[in-house]
Amino acid sequence: MDVHWHRSDLRATDNTGLAAAAEDEVLPVFVFDDAVLRHGSPPRVAFMLDALAELREWYRERGGDLHVARGDPTEVLPALATEHGAGTVHYDGDYSGLARERDTAVSDALEAEGVAAERHEDALHQEPGSILTNQGEPYSVYTYFWKKWRDRPKDDPYDPPEEIADVPGAALPTLADLGFEEPDADVEAGGMAAARDRLDAFLDGPIYEYADARDDPAADNTSRLSAHLRWGTIGPRDVYAGTERAMAEAPDDDAGEAVEEFRGELAWREFYHHVLHFHPRVVTENYNEYEEGIAWRDDPEEIAAWKRGETGYPIVDAGMRQLLDEAYMHNRVRMIVASFLTKDLMADWRHGYAHFREHLVDHNTANDNGGWQWAASTGTDAQPYFRIFNPMSQGERHDPDAEYVAEYVPELADVPADKVHSWHELDHAERNRLAPEYPHPIVDHGERRDEALAMFKRARGED
Ligand code: FAD
């Protein structure tokens, strides 16, 4: 018998470590580890508990069980493996520095008891180190990384296990047992079936519109797979195999290009995981070192208004309220709100990152950090500091009928779209007449743009 230790791979199919463990009878286990839960948040833990309940059911329907334990994995896993005579504990690799430290400690503890520990590469098609420049360095520019990623062969999905040991552990805890409140947001359902439904629905049509419609937040036609990829309720090979089917059935060249564009986003995810692997310091530090520190403004009231979705910039507020309502935000709007925080409010990206980490169901260190450092012009292949989004024209371009704004900012639901997108230019009296409950802009975009440029130039030693 071998053990498979589930972590961020809450699925039975297309799971590298589980498939390796399942060459023999497999004992699947999940350990609630307080050191990891400390970094959790209600939406993410709720999604994870859904996924675990479904995974346990999956095993039970096949005559086995998911062994659930709470404690320190350096103690739980050696004890479990020795009690059941398991030769190896398999697990799928994580990428953050903390996770890697934990995995080393667990491997050492297992080996001290004569049990082998085997790490499997699972969550990415291309592991860190497998795509390097000709000089053997990790890429800091996405386009070159993408070309290699695109051309590499991709593995097929792995089969699920057949022989599953029946070793029940403690019952699944509730959110309250784990010390979390119920999430305020309406969090999407976690689990393999929900992931499969999302993928199938996306492949059924929206994927062919992806290139055109992915920047339209009201259309909401992206895959919505991010939380599933983050928690591993679907495997990356399964998703890629879906794109191969879609490519084979693409009705025309444009549709095929849209599939390729979607693959490009899957590659961004891998790119940022590589960045995190090679530069673990980015979790807290700018990837790009500036000559002087950036003198962020960090006004607490402005940051608080941004978090509440009350900046008086409609597209920004709609995004921030979508986050609070659904624990999710559309990608285009994430870019807009992140630019607004770092350039218009001139606040350190780390405030935004911490807020996203608390509220996003799909938060993962690599993508969240990559997204924030991109928007703040501090990261790898980041937005150049002098290209500052104008939140009004972004709204006008990507939500022309202000439908997305109307959905999340009810105070503006009856305001004509042209007024919504020129809110900043209206006078007080007109704003009060149109939507008395909605805030006036808390900053002047033009002024802040100039100040932000000066802030970055000073940090670059260019003033
Ligand atoms: P789709 O457009 O359908 O893309 C498919 C998959 O590709 C996504 O599920 C995701 O895994 C990956 N992907 C898409 N866009 C990106 C991107 N720009 N960078 C990296 N991977 C991408 N994504 C997260 O998964 N977790 C985060 O915590 C996160 N934080 C972000 C913070 C900021 C400031 C920004 C600008 C972006 C962030 N993203 C994050 C990336 C992106 O916004 C989400 O992955 C995407 O909106 C999820 O929706 P989807 O699954 O429908 O995406």
pLDDT per position as a tens digit, 207-236: 999 998 999 999 999 999 999 999 999 999
Residue 433: the pLDDT is 98
Residue 58: the pLDDT is 97
Which residues of the chain, if any, have pLDDT below 70? none
CA 265 – ligand 1 centroid, Å: 8
DSSP 423: G
Domains of the chain: 2-122 (3.40.50.620), 123-157+191-278 (1.25.40.80), 300-459 (1.10.579.10)
| The model scores a pTM over 0.90 | yes
Q: Which is the closest atom of ligand 1 to the Cα of 226?
A: 9
Residue 292: the pLDDT is 77
Residue 462: the pLDDT is 85
Q: Which of 295, 232, 305 minimizes the C-alpha distance to 54?
A: 232
Report the DSSP beta bridge partners of residue 83: none
Query: Do 167 and 67 form a contact (C-beta atoms < 8 A)?
Result: yes
Residue 372: the pLDDT is 97
List all residues whose CB is within 6 A of at least one atom of ligand 1: 214, 222-226, 229-230, 265-266, 268-269, 272, 331, 334-335, 338, 356, 360, 362-364, 367-368, 370-372, 375
CA 337 – ligand 1 centroid, Å: 14
Distance between CA atoms of residues 30 and 73, nearest Å = 9
Residue 334: the pLDDT is 98
Residue 119: the pLDDT is 97
Distance between CA atoms of residues 272 and 140, nearest Å = 10
Residue 120: the pLDDT is 97
pLDDT tens digits for range 93-130: 998 888 889 999 999 999 999 999 999 999 999 999 99
CA 88 – ligand 1 centroid, Å: 35
Q: Which is the closest atom of ligand 1 to the Cα of 335?
A: 36
Distance between CA atoms of residues 288 and 295, nearest Å = 15
Q: Which residue bears the tokens 């993928």?
A: 199
CA distances from 453 to 26, 303, 372, 448 (A): 58, 19, 18, 8
Residue 201: the pLDDT is 98
Q: Catalytic: which of 118, 260, 310, 331?
A: 331
Distance between CA atoms of residues 323 and 334, nearest Å = 9
pLDDT tens digits for range 265-295: 999 999 999 999 999 999 999 998 887 789 9
Q: Residue whose CA is closest, atom 4 of ligand 1?
A: 265
Query: Do 370 and 383 form a contact (C-beta atoms < 8 A)?
Result: no
